[in-house]
Amino acid sequence: MSDDALFDVFDQDEPSAIVELPKNVTIIEQITTTTTTIIKEENDSEKISHDKRVWEEDDDQIDITIKRNRTDLLTETGSGGFFENVPRMQIHTVETIESCLHEVVLPPNFEYVPLKAPIGPPAKEYKFNLDPFQREAITCLQNNQSVLVSAHTSAGKTVVAEYAVAMALRDKQRVIYTTPIKALSNQKYRELHEEFKDVGLMTGDVTLNPSASCLIMTTEILRSMLYRGSEITREVAWVIFDEIHYLRDKERGVIWEETIILLPDNVHYVFLSATIPNAKQFAEWISFLHNQ
């Protein structure tokens, strides 16, 4: 797959209709269930085991990359129309209070179900009032939904990540927190270890408590673990991608692309991002790729 394959998701204008694809391109796959949710502040710009795939359009050439069993990346063509078996995702806009936009992306054959109020005490309580986008995102986590939070720098996106960690530890699940650079991994390790204790750190230089339920690491480390088939990656229930807008980076963006593709379908995601264009298309890609 070209390194620029996924960058176009953010750089292109959002299409208003389904793109007509050549008849020599086909894919055999059936889409099923679960949900990917987009939470944004209202003043933001716009916000996506079995076979998995990503496609890109380059003039008249259509390349389709299919991942089989999380290892083999290859291209297939055949007869029939591409979108005969792959309809576009459903998008539902949830009514919220002012300054928060909440959109839900889900497969076309999945019935939309509104969020349910959580039962029992929260996994984590805060000493301050949460902003609307934080409350919406946490409610999505409580409903076991993946979520993309797009908000400006210092808006409080880390609150959502902390709740995901607290929820995973409460439910005795394993969670991985990825960052783009070692310095940020070290910072997050100190912050989360101070609060939760059961936290480990894995960078190219340092490994601390690798058997912890919550592991902090760079995205490169997680990709390497997925390629090796590490036992840790088969146990994880949640993966948090901090600074997911690094996906647009022309040099390193492919690392995020490959990592997301290689993760199993049963994993749920928390994507934290600064304001990005076409966030909705990214959510559609995640929904299509992982059937959620």
**Does the model's pTM come out above 0.85?**
no
The answer to whether position 271 is within a domain reads yes
**CA distances to 137, 140, 162, 165, 251 from 36, in Å:** 11, 9, 19, 18, 27
The answer to whether residue 135 is domain-embedded is yes
Strand 146-150 with 268-273, pairing: parallel
Predicted pLDDT at 47: 38
Any domain includes 226: yes
* Residue 282: inside a domain: yes
Output the CA–CA distances (angstroms, integers) from residue 22 to 6, 86, 128, 135, 203, in the order listed. 20, 14, 54, 44, 44
**Diameter of the chain measured on Cα atoms:** 59
In terms of pLDDT, which residue wins out, 37 or 146? Answer: 146
Instruction: Supply the DSSP symbol for 83.
Output: G
Q: What is the mean pLDDT of residues 43-51?
A: 41
Contact between 5 and 253 (Cβ < 8 Å): no
Model confidence at 49, pLDDT cuts 50, 70, 90, reads very low
Structure confidence by residue, pLDDT tens digits, 83-124: 334 457 888 788 777 678 888 888 877 888 888 888 889 999
Is 161 domain-assigned?
yes
Which tokens belong to 134?
Answer: 């934080």
Q: Is residue 109 part of a domain?
A: yes
pLDDT digits (tens, 9 = 90+) for 195-231: 999 999 998 889 999 999 999 999 999 999 999 999 8
Q: Is residue 66 part of a domain?
A: no
- Domain enclosing residue 233, as ranges: 31-48+89-290
> For residue 77, is it within any domain?
no
CATH of the domain at 170: 3.40.50.300
Number of folded domains in the chain?
Answer: 1
Task: Give the mean pLDDT of 36-45.
Answer: 60
